[in-house]
Amino acid sequence: MRTVKELAGFWSGGPYSLIRPSRGTNPLTYLADIRIPARKEIHPLASFILFTPPSDLFLKVNGETLDDDHFYLAVLLEDYLMTFAEALQKDRVYALFPGDGL
């Protein structure tokens, strides 16, 4: 497994390691195709979106590896379109767990 990015928890906690199987050179390359819409495309007052991660992303929490059925990713929206890879690079992605208050 290869670390893609260290994430904080949406409400608290972390750091958590977003990981994927070790294949290819740059783990962010394939994430560039995942489009995150601009805020105004969703609603002018929207601040974040939640989505389930791609099936080959996992989250390492306290030494335990969680698959995509056990966590969500919260992405803070911008006023412009961005890719998931850009959101990761700008630290706009957070880990969120079922029952975390939403």
Q: Give the tens place of pLDDT for each residue, 39-93.
A: 999 999 999 999 888 888 899 988 899 998 999 999 999 999 999 989 999 999 9
Q: Can you name the residues that pair with 59 across neighbouring β-strands?
A: 18, 66
Neighbour-count burial of 29, counting CB atoms closer than 10 A to its CB (0-12 exposed, 13-18 middle, 19+ buried)? exposed
- The reported pLDDT for the residue numbered 27 is 64
Nearest residue to 95 via CA among 55, 56, 68, 64: 68
Domain boundaries, the chain: 2-96
Nearest residue to 21 via CA among 58, 67, 53, 61: 58
d(CA 89, CA 29): 12
Q: Can you name the residues that pair with 72 across neighbouring β-strands?
A: 96
DSSP state string for 25-51:
S-TTTGGGGSEE--HHHH-TT--EEEE
- The reported pLDDT for the residue numbered 43 is 94
- The reported pLDDT for the residue numbered 47 is 95
